Amino acid sequence: MPTNLRDHLATNDAEPALADLIVTVVDTCSEISALVRRGALGEIMGALESENVQGEVQKKLDVISNDMLLQRCAASAGLVAMASEEMDDIHPVRDLTPKGGYLLLFDPLDGSSNIDVNVSIGTIFSILPAPMADAPRPAALADFLQKGRAQVAAGYVVYGPQTTLVLTLGDGVHAFTLDPDTGDWLQTSAGITIPPETKEYAINASNLRHWAPAVRGYVEVCLAGETGPRGKNFNMRWIASMVADVHRIMMRGGVFLYPWDAREPERAGKLRLMYEANPMSLLVEQAGGAAFDGHGAILDAEVTDLHQRISVMLGSRAEVAHIERLHQSA
């Protein structure tokens, strides 16, 4: 019988408070999955009149998912505070103490523009260690501003034909599938490894004219195919849901690019460092891949803001190395 998530965490000696927090996050995702499956029958479709801190129009299910994670996870005893892509500020839960604890960050519903057209979406989460305080004090924004390498766990849940969790505690990457009959998360893949070579890339090619020369040159050479400088044909994929695009790379290799864009030159990129880039980069590195922001490894990027944005290029190690060389020679 496949190992369930709780047994996996116990076998891998996850600290009990961390294990409890992960299980709470993931069990909440099973509830979100049920809402996603009901779709229009659950009166969750469509947009609200509100915008999030990113200036994006919120979908109903964005807000519902965000509230569910806030409410459910607050009961986890080791959780000190949370932050979400959908909220301006952090959400303190309990005081910092000499015992430390954990900070949870999440994108409650990645790819929410796809909700109304029934395309795969998901939830991304990242767990950081909370600082140990000599005397009890409330968590502060500064406590969250840790580099990606500080993460003690990261994962995503993709709501597709199956509901799948992909998780790392820094000891490799493992996948679990939700059994809809029992509600159990059963391990279906262990030690996931991203193939180092690929002939597949994911990018929104309609924006080619806005990219930096290195990225534009990369895509143009891929499009040249076997008669071009690289001597092979590439396939291009783009779902417009980071969870779905990265999950495909986890399962069969490839690279995902969401680069800097000249339409907003002052902004380093589109994706959020803390809620998307860091957790996905940890998963990709743990699976043998690489993650690059145009300057260096994403997990080494300095964190200056809770809602910081960044350029993202991640996936098969050899292909990311090729993209890095293009940037270095540009």
Residue stretches of the annotated binding site for Mg(2+):
85, 107, 109-110, 276
Select from 47, 134, 53, 132 the least CA-distant residue to 91: 53
**How far apart (Å, rounded) are the C-alpha atoms in residues 185 and 161?**
15
Helices (H), 39-59: none
* Strand 255-258 with 290-292, pairing: unpaired
Which amino acid belongs to residue 154? Answer: A
158: closest CA among 183, 121, 187? 121
Phi–psi pair at 314, nearest 5 degrees: -145, 160
As a whole number of angstroms, the distance between CA 175 and CA 178 comes to 10
Burial of 202 (0-12, 13-18, 19+ CB in 10 A): buried
The annotated binding site is made up of 85, 107, 109-113, 204, 270, 276
Helix (H, G, I), strand (E, B) or coil at 220: helix
Cα dist. 291→30, 128, 199, 310, 312 in Å? Answer: 28, 19, 17, 12, 7
| Amino acid residing at 313 | M
**Exposure of 36 in the CB half-sphere (CA atoms within 13 A):** 29
What is the dihedral sign for C-alpha 12, 17, 21, 27?
Answer: positive
| Residue 134 φ then ψ, to 5° | -60, -35
Report residue 15 as tokens: 């600290």
Annotated binding residues for substrate: 110-113, 204, 270
